[in-house]
Chains A and B, each alone.
Chain A
Amino acid sequence: MSPIIPPDDSLLPKWLSSRLNVDAPLEPGEPLYQALYEPLYTNDPDDPIQLIFQDIAFNEVQSLNFISGFRGSGKTTELFRLRKQLQDDDYFVAYANALDYVLPSEPVDISDFLIVLAGSFSDSLADQLEVDPVKESWWTRIVHYLTKTKVDLEGFDVKVGGKAAGADVGLNFKTSLKQVPSFRQKLREKMAPRLGELRNEVQKFFVDAIKLAKKKSKTEKNVVLIFDQLEQLRDALGDKAPVADSVTSLIGNHREDLQIPSVHCVYTVPPWLKFKLPGLPTRLLYNVKLCNNDDDRTRNGAGWTTMRNIVERRFTADGMRRFFGDVGPHGASPLADQLIRFSGGHFRDLLRLLRETLLRSRKLPITREIMNSAIVNLRASFLPIPVKNAFWLNEIGAKRDSLLKDTSAESIRQMTLFLDTHCVMIHRNGNEWYDVHPIIREEIEEIVKREQPAPQAPAST
């Protein structure tokens, strides 16, 4: 059903704003999903969601998938698409948001990660199926285990049978694990010599939980755990990178622990991990490409169609016409196209540009000046670009490669920052390739041209 668009132009910006403001992940089936969301990779042989789905389908018992994507690129919405597709195919899918269990600014350790993994599965089970939150909860189990094995957490009351009991105990444990660094640290210290034991406890829990899930959801297929937002773990500003190091160690040294037996595990991991762990098989939710990887950056029709559809879904055909004025076939509007071009195929940057035009739209349709002003404003947020970075970025744009010199913390941090702030975008058609965000290309070229050392005259002989 077509959305009801206000007939009065003075009310249109508010209506459009409410549609642009939907930036939380959308689930297939939600009314807004169909209205607003354009799946980014459908009909693409490289569709990472489809590839993961196939991997799970081909591996009957268990599988381990890593998926990586950029901030604001619609990653979680894509993972919801995967979940929906799996559920439609009779899988029981547990989805967990890592940020519900860990603080993104704190390093993660294998012992507390295993605890969190089991806990997140347990919570998902409790959310989706009717299970006993005390008897069948992982959180109760872990407290029992610690009590039974007399692990003294020195000052932290996690004993069963105290004032707090049952679900409260588990809840306290879960909250402390996330919020209280000293508690987590103490737990790590105590668990370090008992890692094997903890691993067994976790696996035993999963065996029981999978049985329960299959029984309650009446499926024969093995279960899937999607553990999202792990890539959000990142270091605060500064020279040291304890969080990044801990994530690298977790994925690099404990892969066997991340493969829960009889579970299809899907983890989101940070894009920079590919530089630290080059052999890690990771599916990348790459940026929509508006151009091809050739010298002239020739236009990529499929990418343009996707981005135009995103605009049209949010604005509707009527809204497009009233807001942008001249709209041709297939949602092609000169002004909207210019915004798409400067979004570089980045989903959130496109929405941001649209919103900037909306804020300036006192009269409809908008003018070219308003569009330019929106672009200038977005560009300002990328500036200033230090000269050193400009040279690197310029080379990336020219060679379409990351040109990462080494895997030192400094290089990785800088590249991560480039990716996080969308200065650099990763695309693929066949192979992965890199490019600089179009909104800063000219700026970078200017800096490089300006700062390029003058060619030295050949020495006379």
Chain B
Amino acid sequence: MSQSAPEYLAELYRLEELEGWQLLARHLELTEGFSFVVVLAPDDAAVAYLRSRLPDLVGTPEAVRRVVFDPAAGAGGLAESLLDMSSLPETIRIIWIDADAVDPEQIPARDAAWREALARLNRYRNTLQERFRCTLVMAGPFGLQKFLREAAPDLWSIRSLVCRIEAVGSARMIGEGIFSLSRDREDMGLPGDPGDPAETLAEAEKIRGKPGREILLAQLLHRTGRQAYRRLQWDLALKCLREAFDLEEAHGGDPELRFELANDIALLFHDLAKWDRAFHYCRRALEIAENHFGQSHPMTATALNNLAALLQATNRLSEAEPLIRRALAIDEARLGKDHPSVASMLSNLAQLLKATNRLADAEPLMRQALSIDEASFGKEHPRLAIHLNNLAKLLRATNRSSEAEALLRRALAIDEGTFGKEHPKVAIELNNLAELLRATNRLVEAEPLIRRALAIDEASFGNEHPRVATDLNNLAAFLRAANRLTEAERLIRRALAIDEASFGKEHPRVAIELNNLAELLRATNRPAEAEPLMRRALAIDEASFGNEHPTVAVDLNNLAQLLQDSNRLAEAEALLRRAVEILDVFGKQTGYEHPGMQKAAANYRRLLEALGKQPGGSGPDVV
């Protein structure tokens, strides 16, 4: 651990905000005599940090006795160490068992040893209970939770507690892929007041310019940047983080801090849709990780993941996939298959597969990720909301709307409970749910949700942000469905302008808006204005996703309808035939009928009738 680690960890694990730590404090306050506590933490550094903070809970370092669990010595070694502690002073309040940091290669073996150690302690429970009049704490990885009841059912009695310690919004969390879990879901960090950036900045200013204090200054600026970031004060956040990064590069010898700073800045640029600069810092983070920690280190996996996410956000899917697969392989090997980092990687990979139309491959990965995080964090954690959303989108895409709705409502409840009702995360949930309601024709339920989401995002990001464009699109779709076309057109044009400025004119998001606008023009009897927009959308989607993607089928169907309006039936037939063929292939590949299939098939059937042709023959089956 570098010298800056305690400072940094204090930022990562703000114990006064963490329920797990507060429960441990309360447990110690209320419990007398022997008790058993399992503390679950993300990694060795977290465990060491928590150990260093135990005196806060019991008043003095002398009240804590540490027992080092050496996995190589096996579970028997741990039991012997404990049973040998015959003359324990009465002042001891905590016996803290943990393992020293191990080489990441040894982590899977160590986790298995933990399980055996729990089972062994369970056997000696009576002796332990008689011998120790204090709290016995085992601090280890999240994976301990799942075999606690199985391996130590007796120790896990009423006088026991399980505490989960999670990082509060952090670069490590970024590394775990939160920001890349969904293209629509940039993460703003986890709950809790991050602290006042102005106060921290004032501290930093006191030492600015003092020789030899550059690293401390970098750390304080880092903290200020994060605090500002979490309060959505973008300019201040960016200024502080970049200055900290420059200071670290110029004076520091702490690659970990440099890595975190590069990641934070990349995330910030990602949120601001400044892609070039986001790429620059993402690649810097990867370079730092590979040079200082090695090709197979979890930090390298973090950097790979982030870069893949950025590639995905900018629609460079084929470049992203090998990176995310490499990151997943590193984390699975180093952290074990049940680690939350692995869940994030799985989720990211699933998103990528979904984006490239491999839905049947994506779904089990999403469910696996959800299951890992449920086991690690419980069922109310905001990470679950992200997984639930992603899965709901996939279910919608495969025509399972009622299951999707249940998941979206669960996600909304989680985020409202966690972040409060005015947080941008809640806006995302509202949008997702409203969109589903709109698509299933429940307009009255949908409108208030969409308007609430738009208001939240405008207040949080300003009027020109892509997230506001998303909200505008959603609201326009609703207004169109409610036949309020003039208002809808105004909103779509505004959304189109925002996204063209943010993503460039060839981005698939732009294609969606072009289509939306064209559909509206068609509905208001302006086909000549609509056609070039639809053709432009088709070209963008073909270039982005390839010629066989269902999105292309939707574009083809839209354009065919427009041509039919103008009685250009032969042109329309070719387009519709191609659309139905694409969706037919989709159904065969995934096992699910595409939601647009029936409509496209019906359109095609009617068109053939209009042309005096019979369905079947050499064309697709539309019966």
Contact = CB atoms under 8 A, between A and B. Distances in A.
Most interface-central of A20, A380, A381 (chain B CB within 10 A): A380
Contact of B379 (A23, A380, A381, A420): A380
A449 to B, nearest CB: 8
A359 B157 contact: no
A382 interface: yes
Nearest to B24: A359
B116 interface: yes
Nearest to A103: B123
Given A237-B115, A352-B157, 8 more contacts: A23-B158, A355-B158, A359-B27, A379-B379, A380-B375, A381-B145, A417-B150, A421-B149
Contacts of A352: 157-158
Interface stretch (A10-18, A135-143, A316-324): A10-18
Contacts of A17: 30-31
A72 interface: yes
A381 B126 contact: no
B150 A18 contact: no
Interface string A356-397: 001110000000000001001101111110000000000000
B192 interface: no
B371 A384 contact: yes
B126 A99 contact: yes
B126 A377 contact: no
Interface in A66-108: 71-72, 99, 103-105
B84 interface: no
22 contacts: A14-B29, A18-B32, A20-B158, A21-B159, A71-B153, A104-B123, A105-B123, A236-B116, A236-B119, A237-B116, A237-B150, A348-B157, A348-B158, A352-B157, A355-B158, A359-B30, A359-B161, A380-B375, A381-B162, A384-B146, A384-B374, A421-B150
A373 B375 CA distance: 15
A71 B374 CA distance: 26
Contact of B156 (A13, A381, A384): A381
Interface of B: 23, 26-27, 29-33, 35, 115-116, 119, 123, 126, 145-146, 148-151, 153-154, 156-159, 161-162, 367, 371, 374-375, 378-380, 591
The 9 A-B residue pairs with the shortest CB-CB distance in the complex, in nearest-first order: A17-B30, A384-B375, A351-B158, A421-B149, A380-B378, A359-B26, A23-B158, A352-B158, A105-B123
A105 B161 CA distance: 25
Nearest to A348: B158
A8 to B, nearest CB: 15
A14 B378 CA distance: 27
Contacts of B374: 383-384
A22 to B, nearest CB: 9
Given A381-B162, A420-B153, A376 B380 contact: yes
Interface of A: 13-14, 17-18, 20-21, 23, 71-72, 99, 103-105, 232, 236-237, 348, 351-352, 355, 358-360, 373, 376-377, 379-384, 417, 420-421, 450, 454
Most interface-central of A13, A71, A358, A383 (chain B CB within 10 A): A383
Contact of B32 (A21, A71, A358, A420): A21
B343 to A, nearest CB: 12
Contacts of A20: 158
A163 B31 CA distance: 46
Contact of A382 (B29, B149, B159, B591): B149
A33 to B, nearest CB: 17
Contacts of B27: 359
A237 B147 CA distance: 10
A381 B148 contact: yes
A71 B115 CA distance: 20
Most interface-central of A103, A236, A360 (chain B CB within 10 A): A236
Given A105-B123, A355-B158, A381-B156, A450 B367 contact: yes
Contact of B145 (A104, A237, A380, A454): A380
B158 A359 contact: no
Contacts of A380: 145, 162, 375, 378-379
Contacts of A450: 367
Given A99-B126, A237-B150, A376-B378, A13 B30 contact: yes
Contact of A383 (B33, B119, B146, B157): B146
A237 B591 CA distance: 40
Contacts of A348: 157-158
Nearest to B116: A237
A348 B119 CA distance: 20
A227 to B, nearest CB: 17
B26 A21 contact: no
Most interface-central of A14, A21, A71, A450 (chain B CB within 10 A): A21
Contacts of A14: 29-30
A376 B379 contact: yes
Contact of A237 (B119, B154, B161): B119
A72 B149 CA distance: 13
B375 to A, nearest CB: 4
Contact of B157 (A72, A376, A377, A420): A72
A288 B119 CA distance: 28
Nearest to A446: B406
A20 to B, nearest CB: 7
Given A383-B374, A421-B153, A377 B162 contact: yes
B31 A21 contact: yes
B366 to A, nearest CB: 11
Contacts of A379: 379
A23 B159 contact: yes
Contacts of A382: 149
